[in-house]
Each structure stands twice: as structure tokens, then as C-alpha cells.
């Protein structure tokens, strides 16, 4: 997928090219568990490359390894991202045991405290993400687009915002824009392929994934396996209308 978001290749054209590329991947990998890897490899690679292009000439980011200041906010993820995180947690079980980290317990405990809370409630709660360990993200390699798209130019304002004292943080526009375009292109392609394409609250959705030994097979068969974890700021119907109107342009 060689499409780049540049001034001469506008947001709509970029979205359409991304969606087309995701649709190709969906056609090639239909009904196979490796589809999750193919979709996310494409999404994360496209995100990183285009953020690099867009960020050229802009000030350096304040984000760095070991800073988890913003990791108290609600995280949303698509179904492939949740499935990948569930698989990564199972794959990391031995390493986590050696580090004496009961990650599954942490996720269940976080879910009990956060289930049903909206974004504003989560800011007030200031509960650290269950994946933080010594300031680092335990699932960094597979963190969702929502986390990748959250990058700041000023750590002091991040600290103030995490403490609920200010609302505005100078977030990186390239990260936010590219995340939104890539994520929505993948969601639109999932919808066209008849797969659940919504966004889910991460703690709740990962609990559902860990409880369901057949989660990936269910999703590939078209079931909305994480339905009870859906975030409802934008309804399916509204998203579908938006994707249809973009298709028509």
C-alpha cells in the first residue's frame, strides 16, 4: 500500500485508497485468523509512515518511552485490535509470570471499575491503564490506533490535563488525523465485508476476548462478539451513513 497523505493527495483520496487496500486484504484473507495480522500490519504500517511524512518539519513530540501520563484515558479499539491484544496476552503468559505480573487479573479489576463509564467519567476517575508497568506499556507492540494517535508536544500540559486541571493539550494534529483516516478506512472496509466494524471500550472488550475461546472465529463469521463493550457516541447507522456518503463522492 503506497498511498501517502500529502497536500497533493487530500484526506478523501487518502481515505478511499486506504479503504480500497483494506478491502483487498479482506478479500485475500477472508475467514482466516491471519486476517487480523494482515489488517493490523497494514493499518499500523500506514499510520507510522504517514505520520512521519506529515510530521516532517514540526516540533519534536514530548512523548517518550517510560511516559504514561495520558494512559488514564478511556481507550477504544476495533475488533481486530482487541483480538490481537487477547492473543498477545496469551502469548506473553510465560514472560508475565516471570515478571510476577497477573495481567489478566489487572484487566478484570480495571473492567470492574470502568465498565459503563463514558470518556468524561474516565478522566475524573484517573485510573491507570492495566497495561502500564514501570511507566511502560506491556502491550506496546500491539497497542491500538487510539493510543498511537495520541501524541503531545508538551508533557506539562499532559500532566495538568491528567489531573483534571485543564482540558486542552497540544496534541499532534498529524497523529490525530492519520489515526482517524486509517482507522475509519479499516472500519468502512470491515463494514462492506459484513464484519463487525464498531469501536469497543478496551478493558471490557479484552475481558470478553479472554473469556471466549472462539472469539476470532465468531468475528470472522460476522458476529459482533464484543457488542456489550460498544461505545455509543456515534451509532452504527450514523457511521454507515457517513461511509456511504464518502463512497458516493
Residues of the shown chain interacting with ligand SF4 in the complex, contacts defined by CB under 6 A: 68, 71, 75, 129, 131-132, 137, 139, 143, 147
Buried b (16+ CB within 10 A) or exposed e, 6-36: eeeeeeeebbbbbbebbbebbeebeeeeebb
Q: How far is the CB of 68 from ligand SF4 (least distance, A)?
A: 6
Concatenated DSSP letters for 96-110? HHHTT--HHHHHHHH
CB nearer to ligand SF4: pick between 21 and 146 = 146
* SS3 (DSSP) at 127: coil
Q: How far is the CB of 71 from ligand SF4 (least distance, A)?
A: 3
CB nearer to ligand SF4: pick between 28 and 113 = 113
Contact 224, 234 (CB under 8 A): no
Q: How far is the CB of 142 from ligand SF4 (least distance, A)?
A: 9
Rounded Cα–Cα distance for residues 26 and 41 (Å):
13
CB nearer to ligand SF4: pick between 68 and 229 = 68
Contact 44, 141 (CB under 8 A): no
Q: How far is the CB of 244 from ligand SF4 (least distance, A)?
A: 31
CB nearer to ligand SF4: pick between 89 and 188 = 89
Amino acid at each position: 500500500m503506497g498511498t501517502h497523505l500529502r497536500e497533493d493527495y487530500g484526506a478523501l483520496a487518502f481515505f478511499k485508497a486506504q479503504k480500497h487496500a483494506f478491502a483487498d486484504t479482506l478479500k485475500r484473507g477472508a475467514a482466516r485468523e491471519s486476517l487480523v495480522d494482515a489488517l493490523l500490519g497494514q493499518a499500523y504500517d500506514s499510520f507510522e509512515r504517514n505520520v512521519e511524512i506529515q510530521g516532517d518539519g514540526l516540533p519534536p513530540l514530548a512523548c517518550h518511552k517510560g511516559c504514561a501520563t495520558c494512559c488514564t484515558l478511556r481507550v477504544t479499539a476495533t475488533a481486530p485490535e482487541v483480538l490481537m491484544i487477547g492473543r498477545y496476552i496469551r502469548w506473553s503468559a510465560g514472560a508475565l509470570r516471570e515478571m510476577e505480573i497477573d495481567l489478566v487479573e489487572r484487566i478484570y479489576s480495571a473492567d470492574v471499575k470502568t465498565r459503563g463509564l463514558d470518556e468524561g467519567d474516565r478522566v475524573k476517575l484517573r485510573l491507570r491503564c492495566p497495561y502500564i508497568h514501570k511507566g511502560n506499556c506491556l502491550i506496546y507492540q500491539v497497542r491500538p490506533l487510539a493510543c498511537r494517535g495520541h501524541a503531545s508536544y508538551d508533557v506539562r500540559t499532559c500532566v495538568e490535563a491528567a489531573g483534571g486541571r485543564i482540558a486542552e493539550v497540544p496534541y499532534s494534529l498529524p497523529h490525530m488525523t492519520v489515526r482517524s483516516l486509517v482507522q475509519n478506512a479499516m472500519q468502512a472496509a470491515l463494514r462492506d465485508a459484513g464484519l463487525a466494524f464498531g469501536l469497543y471500550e478496551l478493558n471490557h472488550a479484552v475481558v470478553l476476548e479472554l473469556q471466549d475461546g472462539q472469539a476470532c472465529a465468531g468475528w470472522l463469521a460476522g458476529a459482533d462478539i464484543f457488542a456489550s463493550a460498544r461505545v455509543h457516541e456515534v451509532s452504527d447507522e450514523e457511521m454507515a451513513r457517513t461511509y456511504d456518503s464518502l463512497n458516493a463522492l
